[in-house]
Amino acid sequence: MTNPDQITQRLGEELRARADHLYGTPITFDAVRGQAHRIRRRRRVAAAGAIAAAVAVVAAVPAVLSGSLDRADGPQPAPSPAQSAHTATLHGGTVTLADGGTVHIGVADEDVTQLGVLTDGRMLVADQAKQAIEVFTPDGSMTATYPSDPLLVTMSSTDHLAAWLDGSRVHVLESGVAEPVALAHMSEVAGTVPMVDAVTGDHCADGGCQAILSDGTRTTGEVSTDGVSEVPTSEPLRVTDVSPDGKTWAVAFLPGENEQYGCGGLYDPVAHQVLARSCSTNALQFAPDGRHLLSGFFENGSISRVTVVDRDLRVVRQLDTGKQLATQLAWADDSHVLMVLADLAGTHWTVERVAVDGGDPETIAGPIPGGNPEMMSEYKLSE
C-alpha cells in the first residue's frame, strides 16, 4: 500500500511543477504545505480515498457577450474559434479585457492562481480560499459555484471550453451553454494525482467533448461522456496544449536521467508520430491561429528562456527580459505576446506587449509596486 506521506510529497512536487508550468500561476510553498496537511488529515479520517489538492483559479473574461447567461435561458450560439477571448489581465479584483474594457469581479487577487477566458464572456474563478470554481456573468455578477478537487481549471486552446475535476468526474463548461456537462466516471487509483491537461471538442451534451488526462508525469488516457479510453503514444509524453484545429498536440517528452527538463515537441495523435522535437523548448502553447508557439522554462515562480517558435520549432523571436523576471506569459493575439515583468525587488511591475515579428515591447499596464516576484504575480493573465 502506498505510504500517505509519499503521496503527499508527490502531490506537493506536482503542484509546484504544475504551478510553475501554468502561465501566470506561481504558488507558494506554504500554500502547498497547507494543502498537503489537509490531505494527510483527510486520509486519516477516510482511511482510503482519492488525493485532494487545490492549486488554481480561472477567471474567464467577457469579450463577446453583453448581459448575463441565465440558467433558464436556452443555449446560445457559440462563437467561432476565431473569436477566442485572448487575453485579459486581472489586478485589484478587476479584469481588463482584450478590448480595453474592465469588469470588477471582487475576488481577492491572492486567492486567484489562474486566469482564463470563455468566448461567451463568462468568467470562472477557482478560488483557493473557497476551494471552488466560481462562475461570473459578463457584468461581473456571480452566477454559480462548483466544487473542484484538485482545484485546477483547464481552458481549451480556443477558449470555448473550461474543464475541471471533481472526484472521479471531469466537468466541462461550454461557451453558450448554461450548465457544465459531467463526463464519464473514472476509476480512482490510489497514489495518483489525476490531471486534466487539455480539453477539446464541442456540443459536450451530445458527447462531442473529450478531456486528455495525465498522472502528472505522462498522458494516460482520454475521457468523454461515453467512457474512458487509453491514449496510445509512440513514446511517453505529456500534452501541454492542443492546436486550435485539434489535429496537433504540443507535448513534453520525459526528461532523461539527471535532466531537469525534457524536450518539447509536436505530435500527431492520429498517426502516432512525432512531427517536431526541440530540447530548447518547454511548456509549448499554440498561438490562437496555430501558426506559432510560445516556449518558456518555469522555475521558482519565474520564467526564463522565453521564445516564440514556428511549427518546425525554429526560433522566430527571443523575448529578452533583461534584468527583470517574467512571472507570466500568454498570447495576446495571433502575433503578440504578453509578459508580466518585475524587477528583482518587486518594486516595479509592468505588463509588456511584444510583437512576434520584431519591434520594442509596449507597456500596457503599470508600472506599479508589488511583492516578491518569486512568490507571487501582481498581474495575472488569462491563458
Cell of 7: 503521496
Query: Which of the 8 DSSP states describes residue 115?
Result: B
Residue 18 pLDDT greater than 50, yes or no: no
- Tens digit of pLDDT for each residue in 180-204? 999 999 876 555 667 899 999 999 9
**Averaged pLDDT for residues 167-185:** 94
Cell of 232: 496510445
Q: Provide the greatest CA pair distance for the chain.
A: 59
What CATH number has the domain spanning 4-72+83-381? Answer: 2.130.10.10
pLDDT band at 256 (very low <50, low <70, confident <90, very high): confident
CA 122 to chain centre: 16
Distance CA(37)–CA(26), nearest Å, equals: 20
Question: According to the per-residue pLDDT averaged within each range, which of 48-57, 72-81, 308-317 is highest?
Answer: 308-317
Please identify which residue in the block is written with the cell numbers 493575439.
333
Q: In sequence order, what DSSP letters do the residues of 288-330 get, joined into one string?
A: TTSS-EEEEEEETTEEEEEEEE-TT--EEEE---TTSEEEEEE
Task: Please tell me the predicted confidence (pLDDT) of residue 191.
Answer: 55
Task: Please tell me the predicted confidence (pLDDT) of residue 188.
Answer: 65
Average pLDDT score over the chain? 79
Sign (positive or negative) of CA dihedral 192, 186, 176, 248: positive
User: 54 has which bridge partners?
Assistant: 151
Cβ proximity of 136 and 121 under 8 Å: no
CB atoms within 10 A of CB 160: 26
Indicate the burial class of 33 (C-beta count within 10 angstroms; 0-12, 13-18, 19 or more): exposed
Q: Please choose, from the candidates 296, 353, 358, 362, the residue with its C-alpha nearest in 3D space to the C-alpha of residue 327.
A: 296
Task: Please tell me the predicted confidence (pLDDT) of residue 212.
Answer: 96
Backbone φ, ψ for residue 19 (5° rounding): -65, -40
Distance CA(342)–CA(46), nearest Å, equals: 44
Task: Please tell me the predicted confidence (pLDDT) of residue 53.
Answer: 30
Task: Please tell me the predicted confidence (pLDDT) of residue 382.
Answer: 83
> pLDDT exceeding 70 applies to what percent of the chain?
76
Residue 379 pLDDT greater than 50, yes or no: yes
pLDDT band at 72 (very low <50, low <70, confident <90, very high): very low
Cell of 346: 518587486
Indicate the burial class of 291 (C-beta count within 10 angstroms; 0-12, 13-18, 19 or more): middle
CB atoms within 10 A of CB 202: 18
**Averaged pLDDT for residues 155-170:** 92
